[in-house]
Amino acid sequence: MPRLKKKSHEKLTSQNIQHVISLMNPTPSTVKAITKREACNILNISYNTTRLDKILEDYHSQKEYRARRVSQNRGRPARPDEIKDIIEEYLSGENVSNISKRLYRSASFVKSILERIGVPQRPVAAEDRKNPMYLPEECVADTFDEGEIVWSAIHHAPAQIEKKQTKELQNSKAGLVPVDYEEKYGCDCYSIYVRQKPSGDLEDFFNSTGIGGYYSYSLASDLGKLKHLEEYGIKLENL
């Protein structure tokens, strides 16, 4: 469906438009409704009742269209292309809500696909992002290969394996006190490159794949394999 054009300063998110609608049609009816001028102020648009009516009409049309499409998809199994899109978008940083809206599926449908296939989960709450997430059984492994694309449960993002931090490698670096990671933590340690996809003008600073990132270190217990996702058409190098 064609969408209403909006200017960058206008606050025309679905949540804000719904907020305006609730204020224009308050419950109980004893509460005074806001004026159209006040509604325009909340949406940060110029006072224009014709455009305000068009914005509200567009919102209701989009809402009805989405409800109709979701209803049509209800009960239908996931198509291969839907599964591929869900995995790629989620691992690239998109949230479940936006994925479900684009596919005209419920959020619970998207979540069930992610859980069934064994896609590593990202924390929802900001305070939880400081802690590692549990990895699905399909992702758990003890060793990883150089260049392999994995999931970092610490950084909640795809990462590329750089080097296994062996005693020989550590001894070759002047001034570095070697650590026996296997003895101290019960697993190996790897240097990794955490992959991030910048948006906007920042992308010009990176290569043609549009992938940037930063270097870090991680224990094997906080890394997850993603090889099992290739059977769903996922190209790990593009994550």
Per-position DSSP letters for 155-197, written without gaps between them: TTEEEEEEEE--HHHHHTSTT-----HHHHHSS-EEEEEEEE-
pLDDT of the residue at 119: 97
Q: What DSSP character marks residue 78?
A: P
Cα–Cα distance between 188 and 207 in angstroms, integer? 31
Q: What Rg do the C-alpha atoms of the chain give, in angstroms?
A: 24
pLDDT of the residue at 8: 86
pLDDT of the residue at 212: 82
pLDDT of the residue at 202: 42
pLDDT of the residue at 2: 55
pLDDT of the residue at 7: 84
Using the Cα atoms of residue 122, residue 126, residue 129 and residue 135 in order, give the sign of their dihedral: negative
Cα angle 142, 145, 147 (rounded to 5 degrees) comes to 140
* Ranges under pLDDT 70 in the chain: 1-4, 30, 197-211
CB 227 within 8 A of CB 235: no
Q: Does the model's pTM come out above 0.75?
A: no
pLDDT of the residue at 72: 87
Collapse the DSSP code of 40 into the 3-class scheme (helix H, G, I; strand E, B; otherwise coil) and give the result: helix
Give the C-alpha distances (Å, rounded to integers) separating 30 from 20, 38, 142: 17, 18, 65
The two three-digit tokens of residue 211, written as one number: 């992938």
